[in-house]
Chains A and B, each alone.
Chain A
C-alpha cells in the first residue's frame, strides 16, 4: 500500500504473474486487484490496496485500504522517492502498528534525475525495516524486493504518537538522509504547466479529447473488421444456422434464435437470445469498450486526468460536484457500470448522488452510443449531434437544479497533480482488462437476462398489451407513433435492442431523435441500476429513478414542441 500516484499498481504488476483478478471489497464497491506470487517456492496472495495518504480515511476507498492493512500478514509500503517527506507520514503510521513492513522506495530513477540524493542505509537504520530502491516501470530492484520480503518486520522503537510528533520525526529523518541538489525549471516543467493554465490548458484539453475519440473509433473499427466480425460471421453464424434448423419453428426457436430475416439470421434484427442478444453486446459494443478503456487508462497513467479535473472544476463545482466528477463521466462513456463505481471517489453523499443521477440520465454508454448511431447514422450527422447536444445541455441544467435541491455539502477540490509519467504498458493493459471485466461480469449477464425477459414477454403478447395502454400518451406527449411505446418499455431491459424495433416503425428522423434521446435518459441499463442501488442505497436510488423518468417525460415533450412544432 502507499499514497496515490506512487506506482503501486506498477509494482503490483511486476510482482504478480498473469492471473490477476479484479474483485470488490465485501460490502462495498471499491475495486482492487488480487494476484498470486511466489516467495521461496511458496505461493502467496498479494493485494493492490487503494491509494491513501493516511490510515485515518477520508473516503470509501481509503476506508478499504485501512481495513486491508488490518487483515494483511506482511505489508509492502510503496513510497515515492521524489516526494519522501509527504510519503513518510503514512509510513510512520504503518510502522506504529504491529505489522511486518517492507518499504519499496519507488521512482528511484526519477529522484536521481531530479537531483534528490537519499541515504538508503541510514533510512533503513532509522526506520528499522528493509528499504529497497525500485524502478517499477523497468523492473529494477523488484527481485531484491521479493528476496527481502522475509526480512519485513515491525520496529519496536516507533510508538503510536500524535500528528505533530510525527511531523517533527519526519523532519528530522529528512534532514539526516536526504540531500536535494538545486533544480532549474526545465522545459518539461513549462510544458506541464501549460496544460494546467486555463489559457493554454483548455485548447490542449479539447485537442486531447477529440484525438482520443478518434483513436478509439479507429481501434474499435479495426477490432470489429479483423477480429470480431470474422469470428461472428465466419465461425459462429453457421453454428447458429444449424441450431436454427435443429430447433425448427416454435416458441423455443423464437426465444433462442429469434426471427429469420429472408431465411437467414440477421445479427441486428433477429432478436434471439443467442443471435442479436449475444452479438450486440459482444460483437458491436465490446470492441469499442476495449478501445475506449485502453485509451482512458493510458491518459490516466500518464497523469493527465488530474489536470483535466482542475480545468473543469469551476463548472463541475456549480453542478454540485468538483472536478473529479469528470472521471465518472469519462468512465461512464464506456460502460456506465465503472462510471457508477467511480462516483465513490467523491467525498459526500450529495456529490455522489448528483454524479450518479447525472451519469444515468445524460451520459450515454457505448451501447447507447451505438444505438444512437445505428438509428440515426443513415440520416446524417446532424441528427446525431442533436441527441448528444441535448444530453450535454441536460447534464448542465440538471446539475444546476440538483445542486440547488439536494441537501448536503459539496466540498472543494483538493487534488495532487502528479508529474507526467511514461505509462507502463503492462499496468495499462491490466487496468484495461480490469475495467472490461466489469462489463463482461456485471453488465453482460443482465443484458442476457434482459433479452430473455423481453422475448418471453413478446411471445406471450404482454409487451404488446402494455404498449397498447401507453400508446395514446406517447402520441400526445411526444409526437411518436403509439407503437413506439413498445420500444420504450423494452428499453427498460435492453436499450440496444430497442433500436431494431424503432427502425421498423417508419418514423421521421426527427421523431427518431426524440425516441432515441428519451431512451437514453429515462433509465440506465439494469446492470447500472443494480450497481447504483448498491452504491446509493435503495431510498436514494428510488429518488434518482423518479428524477430520470420525470426528466425523460419533460425532455420528450419539450423536444416535440421544438423539433416537430406541434
Chain B
C-alpha cells in the first residue's frame, strides 16, 4: 500500500492497480459499476490504443475497453 494515486488513463500496459475512486455523476458510476469497475477492485492495464484511443483493462478476469475520457475519471493506486 501507499503507492501513487493516479488516473487509470496514465498507467502503462502491464501495470496492476487498485481502484480508489470513480469520479463523475450517478450515470457513469452506475455504468461502470454494472461492469464490475468499482472502488476496491484490482485492475490490470492490457493495452492502450494510439491517438487518444481507448484503453483495455482486465478486472475479475474479464477485459473491458473504455474511452480515454472515462479512464481519466477512474483514480487508482499503483500496486506493481
- Show the binding face of A for B, using Cβ within 8 Å: 53-54, 58, 82-83, 85-86, 89, 114, 163, 167, 183, 193, 196-198, 201, 306, 309-311, 313-315, 317, 322-323, 411-419
Q: Are the C-beta atoms of B34 and A54 separated by less than 8 Å? A: yes
Per the bound structure, the CA–CA distance linking A201 and B66 in Å amounts to: 17
Is B3 an interface position by the 8 A CB rule?
no
Q: Are the C-beta atoms of A317 and B35 separated by less than 8 Å? A: no
Query: Which of A83, A85, A197, A414 has the most CB atoms of chain B within a 10 A radius of its CB?
Result: A414
Known A309-B65, A314-B52; 4 more pairs at CB < 8 Å: A58-B31, A83-B60, A85-B60, A417-B63
Cβ < 8 Å to A, chain B residues 42-75:
46-54, 56, 60-70
| In the complex, chain B residues whose CB is within 8 Å of the CB of A417 | 56, 62-65
Q: Are the C-beta atoms of A310 and B49 separated by less than 8 Å? A: yes
Min CB distance B16 to A, Å, is: 11
Is B30 an interface position by the 8 A CB rule?
yes
The 9 closest A-B pairs by CB, nearest first: A412-B67, A314-B53, A417-B63, A310-B65, A314-B51, A197-B47, A86-B36, A415-B65, A53-B34
Per the bound structure, the CA–CA distance linking A323 and B35 in Å amounts to: 18
Which listed residue (A89, A193, A313) contacts B49, Cβ 8 A?
A: A313
Q: Are the C-beta atoms of B61 and A83 separated by less than 8 Å? A: yes
| In the complex, chain A residues whose CB is within 8 Å of the CB of B48 | 198
Q: Are the C-beta atoms of A198 and B50 separated by less than 8 Å? A: yes
Min CB distance A120 to B, Å, is: 20
Per the bound structure, the CA–CA distance linking A196 and B47 in Å amounts to: 7
- 6 A-B pairs with CB atoms under 8 Å apart are A196-B63, A311-B49, A313-B49, A314-B51, A315-B51, A418-B62
| In the complex, chain A residues whose CB is within 8 Å of the CB of B23 | none
Q: Are the C-beta atoms of B31 and A314 separated by less than 8 Å? A: no
Per the bound structure, the CA–CA distance linking A58 and B69 in Å amounts to: 19
Is B38 an interface position by the 8 A CB rule?
yes
- For B31, the closest partner residue in chain A by CB is A414
Per the bound structure, the CA–CA distance linking A411 and B47 in Å amounts to: 20
Q: Are the C-beta atoms of A83 and B62 separated by less than 8 Å? A: yes
With known contacts A85-B60, A197-B46, A317–B67 Cβ distance under 8 A: yes
With known contacts A114-B61, A314-B54, A414–B34 Cβ distance under 8 A: no
Cβ < 8 Å to A, chain B residues 1-44:
13, 30-31, 33-36, 38
| In the complex, chain A residues whose CB is within 8 Å of the CB of B66 | 412-415
Query: Which of B34, B38, B52, B60 has the most CB atoms of chain A within a 10 A radius of its CB?
Result: B34
With known contacts A86-B34, A196-B47, A413–B67 Cβ distance under 8 A: yes
Which listed residue (B62, B65, B67) contacts A86, Cβ 8 A?
A: B62
Which listed residue (B30, B38, B47, B65) contacts A413, Cβ 8 A?
A: B65
With known contacts A85-B60, A323-B65, A412–B47 Cβ distance under 8 A: no
Min CB distance B38 to A, Å, is: 7
Per the bound structure, the CA–CA distance linking A422 and B60 in Å amounts to: 21
With known contacts A53-B34, A86-B34, A313–B63 Cβ distance under 8 A: no
Min CB distance B48 to A, Å, is: 8
Per the bound structure, the CA–CA distance linking A306 and B54 in Å amounts to: 12
Q: Are the C-beta atoms of A412 and B34 separated by less than 8 Å? A: no
| In the complex, chain B residues whose CB is within 8 Å of the CB of A317 | 53, 67
Min CB distance B22 to A, Å, is: 13
